[in-house]
Amino acid sequence: MPAFDYVCIDAQGKKVHGVQEADSQRQVRQLLREKGCVPISVTTASEREKQRTLGFGGSRISAAELAMITRQMATLVQASIPVEEVLRALSRQNSRPQLQSLLIAVRAKVMEGYTLAQGLAEYPGAFPEIYRATVAAGEQSGHLDLVLEQLADYTEKRLETRKKIQHAMIYPALLTSMSVLIIIALLTWVVPDIVRVFDTAHQSLPLLTRGLIATSHLLRHWLWLMLLLLAGGVYTARRALQRPELKLRFHTLLLRLPLLGHLLRDADTARLAATLSILSRSGVPLVEALRIGTEVVSNLCIKAAVKQATVSVTEGGSLARALEQSGRFPPMMLQMMASGESSGELEQMLERAAGMQERELASLISTLVGLFEPLMLLMMAGVVLIIVLAIMLPIVSMNNLVH
């Protein structure tokens, strides 16, 4: 039975959005009138949701929502409930209209005879390729319940890692913003009032004081232009990075940076190892897993290395050896992959490698955040010291002249 999105006016005169299963739009309108509502529009849920997920500004499932419905789906499928009933229950369980409409639209495809993976494939903006490939492998192997359980663990772990990174970055971002605002406030409002007394002294000011006054004058009169130039520079850089050759050079430069490059490499290799782990355990062939894993890698240099490794593995080569040739992957991760290939336990070693990379990434982020706080405090202390010296030097000079 197809699903329809509707907009109606209820008995209290409020506009209501919802989803209704029915044989036709006419039946939906009739059901709404029986409830005392005045229907405004009725559209097919599947078509409307496809426009949402594929169109610009469309609704997408957040990482938290995807983890939640995956866990709920795994629990219900393990209870031997048919997939279409699982999707119906999930749509009723979720109150957000967009998510409810999406689940009912997927259920409509399943009711038409399509597999769950094929139904999910209609909405690639909501369900990533790794998600759809894992579900398809579970359906083909007849172990959808186990695969969904693994997929739920994977999505929850990814969500937890993302939250840890976001929470770790909140404090540095807040500290940096407040430091910049305080410095601008000092130079824009406080310093001009203090140094105004030097205008009547008619004496030569120290170089440090003249530099402070010039900086204050620049910020007071040209801050708007500096912000405008900064915004223009950011816009121009983003447009330039849309060119593949420039973006590749930029990504190569990022990997060469001392700490940031190591952080970016660990983040990408952790995502790749986790993706290969979940796909391999779900029964997806290694070549297909590598192709999908390429999509979760953000750095173009590492992405190119994975694509080259995919070609080598397709020709019968070793995964660890193919990745090692690029020089972009951690030696320990490659050693674990090689051990798994030689022992026939690649799936288990990929899982261990993924866990190891995620722990190293979390440790590196913690270290960087721990170093950032004292560095910012030292920078603030240095700026304040320069301002104080620039103000005190002419005062001391004036006192010496008096005596």
> Do 118 and 181 fall into the same domain?
no
Query: Taken in order 92, 98, 103, 107, is the CA torsion positive or negative?
Result: positive
Q: First and final CA of the chain: distance in angstroms?
A: 98
> Do 215 and 351 fall into the same domain?
yes
Chain segment 330-362, per-residue pLDDT in tens: 888 899 989 988 888 888 888 888 888 888 888
> In this model, does residue 228 exceed pLDDT 90?
yes
> Do 245 and 363 fall into the same domain?
yes
Cα separation of 384 and 390, whole Å?
10
Would you say residue 142 lies in a domain?
Answer: no
Mean pLDDT of 366-390: 83
> In this model, does residue 83 exceed pLDDT 60?
yes
Cα separation of 271 and 305, whole Å?
15
Q: Cα 320 vs. chain centroid, distance in angstroms?
A: 28
- Band (pLDDT 50/70/90 cuts) for residue 6 is confident
Give pLDDT, residue 235.
93
Residue range(s) defining the domain that contains residue 36 = 3-127
Indicate the helix (H) or strand (E) that contains 38: strand 38-44
Give pLDDT, residue 317.
86
Would you say residue 65 lies in a domain?
Answer: yes
Report the amino acid identity of residue 73.
M
Cβ atoms < 10 Å from Cβ of 140 = 15
Among 54-58, 124-128, 269-273, 308-312, the range with the most confident prediction by mean pLDDT is 308-312
Cβ atoms < 10 Å from Cβ of 4 = 28
- State the residue for tokens 């674990």: 336
Mean pLDDT of 366-371: 80
Would you say residue 133 lies in a domain?
Answer: no
Give pLDDT, residue 348.
86
Chain segment 109-124, per-residue pLDDT in tens: 888 888 888 888 888 8
Cα separation of 31 and 18, whole Å?
13
- State the residue for tokens 């959005």: 17
Would you say residue 231 lies in a domain?
Answer: yes
- Count of all residues that appear for the chain in the document: 403
Report the amino acid identity of residue 322.
A
Chain segment 168-207, per-residue pLDDT in tens: 778 778 888 888 888 888 888 877 877 777 766 666 778 8
Q: What is the total count of domains within the chain?
A: 2
Would you say residue 72 lies in a domain?
Answer: yes
Residues 84/111, Cβ–Cβ less than 8 Å: yes
Would you say residue 253 lies in a domain?
Answer: yes
User: 67-71, 136-140, 165-169, 321-325: which has the minimum mean pLDDT?
Assistant: 165-169
Would you say residue 238 lies in a domain?
Answer: yes
> Do 27 and 84 fall into the same domain?
yes
Cβ burial, residue 245 (10 Å; 0-12/13-18/19+): exposed
| Residue 43 belongs to domain with CATH number | 1.20.81.30
Give pLDDT, residue 55.
37
> Do 87 and 187 fall into the same domain?
no
Q: Encoding tokens for residue 31?
A: 């059901």
Residues 282/147, Cβ–Cβ less than 8 Å: yes
> In this model, does residue 102 exceed pLDDT 70?
yes
Last residue of a domain, one of 111, 127, 143: 127
> In this model, does residue 270 exceed pLDDT 70?
yes
- Band (pLDDT 50/70/90 cuts) for residue 58 is very low
Give pLDDT, residue 399.
64
- Whole-number mean pLDDT of the chain? 82
> Do 302 and 206 fall into the same domain?
yes
> Do 27 and 94 fall into the same domain?
yes
Residues 254/261, Cβ–Cβ less than 8 Å: yes
- Band (pLDDT 50/70/90 cuts) for residue 232 is very high
> Do 158 and 114 fall into the same domain?
no
> In this model, does residue 382 exceed pLDDT 80?
yes
> In this model, does residue 52 exceed pLDDT 60?
no
Would you say residue 66 lies in a domain?
Answer: yes
Q: What is the Cβ-side half-sphere exposure of residue 19, based on CA atoms within 13 angstroms? A: 27
Q: Where are the beta strands (DSSP E) in 112-153?
A: none
> Strand pairing of 3-9 and 38-44?
antiparallel
Please provide residue 284's backbone torsions phi and psi, each rounded to the nearest 5 degrees.
-75, 130
Residues 266/361, Cβ–Cβ less than 8 Å: yes
> Do 60 and 171 fall into the same domain?
no
**Rg, Å, the chain Cα set:** 30
> Do 99 and 28 fall into the same domain?
yes
> Do 228 and 284 fall into the same domain?
yes
Ramachandran quadrant class, 80 (left: phi over 0; alpha: psi -120 to 50; beta: rest)? left
Give pLDDT, residue 233.
93
> Do 164 and 312 fall into the same domain?
yes
Give pLDDT, residue 53.
45
Q: For helices 260-281 and 286-295, what crossing angle results, to 10°?
A: 140
Buried b / exposed e across 30-40, counting CB within 10 Å, b at 16+? ebbeeeebebe
